[in-house]
A and B are shown apart, each in its own frame.
Chain A
Amino acid sequence: MDHTTRVYENVFEMMPSEANPTPIVRINRLNPNPEFSLYAKLEWVNPFGSVKDRAAWSLLRDLEERGELGDGRGLVEPTSGNTGISLAALARARGHRMLAIVPNKIPHEKKVLLKIAGAELEVVSDELCPAPGLGDGSINLAKTYAKAQSHKYVMPNQYENEKNVEAHIKTTGPEIWKQTEGRVTHLFTSMGTCGTVTGIGRFLRSKNPNIKIIAVQPTEGHDVPGLRNVSQLEVAKLFEPSLIDDILEIDFNLAYTRALELCQNEGLFAGPSSGLILEGALQIAARDQRGFGVMIFPDNIFKYTSNMTKHIPALEPQETKATI
Chain B
Amino acid sequence: MTTNHYVHPEVLVETDWVKQNLGKPGIRLVEVDVDTKAYDAGHIPGAVGLNWQSQLQDQVRRDIVSKHEFERLMSEAGISPGDTVILYGDNNNWFAAYGFWLFKLYGHKDVRLMNGGRVKWLNEADKELTPEKPKTTPTKYQVSEPDLSLRALLPEVLKAQSDKRHNLVDVRSPDEFTGKVIAPPGMTETAQRGGHIPGAKSIPWSTAINQDGTFKSADDLRKIYLSNAGVDPGKDTISYCRIGERSSHTWVVLKYLLGLPNVKNYDGSWTEYGSIVGAPIEK
Contact = CB atoms under 8 A, between A and B. Distances in A.
Contact of A137 (B90, B94, B184, B206): B90
Interface stretch (B71-79, B208-216, B271-279): B208-216
Interface in B1-54: 34, 37-38, 41-43
Interface in A94-152: 104-105, 122, 124-125, 127-135, 137, 140-141, 143-145, 147-149
A129 B91 CA distance: 6
Given A127-B184, A133-B212, A148 B92 contact: no
A104 B41 CA distance: 18
Contacts of A122: 37
A129 B41 contact: no
B175 to A, nearest CB: 10
A130 B41 CA distance: 22
A148 B186 contact: no
User: Which of A122, A125, A127 has the most chain B CB atoms inside 10 A of its CB?
Assistant: A125
A128 B34 contact: yes
Contacts of B129: 144, 147-148
Given A127-B184, A127-B185, A128-B184, A134 B119 contact: yes
Contacts of B211: 132-133
Given A148-B129, A148-B131, A132 B185 contact: no
Contacts, number: 69
A133 B119 CA distance: 11
Interface string B203-239: 0001001111100000000000000000000000000
Contacts of A128: 34, 91, 184, 186-187
Contacts of A141: 37-38, 41
A132 B119 CA distance: 13
A145 B122 CA distance: 10
B130 interface: yes
B123 interface: yes
Contacts of A143: 122-123
A135 to B, nearest CB: 7
Contact of A140 (B34, B119, B131, B184): B119
Contacts of A134: 92, 119, 213
Nearest to B45: A148
A137 B94 CA distance: 14
Nearest to B173: A130
Interface residues of A, number: 23
Interface string B109-139: 0000000001100110000111100000000
Contact of B92 (A105, A124, A131, A149): A131
Given A133-B212, A140-B90, A140-B119, A125 B42 contact: no
A50 B232 CA distance: 56
Contacts of B92: 129, 131, 134
Contacts of B187: 128
A148 B41 contact: yes
Contacts of A129: 90-92, 94
A131 B210 CA distance: 10
A122 B209 CA distance: 28
B119 A145 contact: no
A125 B94 CA distance: 15
Contacts of A124: 37
Nearest to A153: B41
A135 B120 CA distance: 11
B247 to A, nearest CB: 14
A131 B122 contact: no
Given A128-B91, A129-B94, A149 B131 contact: yes
Contacts of A140: 38, 90, 118-119, 122
A251 to B, nearest CB: 18
Contacts of A132: 206, 209, 211
18 contacts: A127-B184, A127-B186, A128-B34, A128-B91, A128-B184, A128-B187, A130-B184, A131-B92, A133-B212, A133-B213, A140-B119, A141-B41, A144-B38, A144-B122, A147-B122, A148-B129, A148-B130, A149-B41
Given A104-B186, A137-B90, A148-B130, 6 more contacts: A131-B92, A131-B206, A133-B210, A137-B91, A140-B122, A148-B129
Q: Which 5 A/B pairs are nearest by Cβ-Cβ distance? A: A148-B42, A133-B211, A148-B129, A129-B91, A144-B42
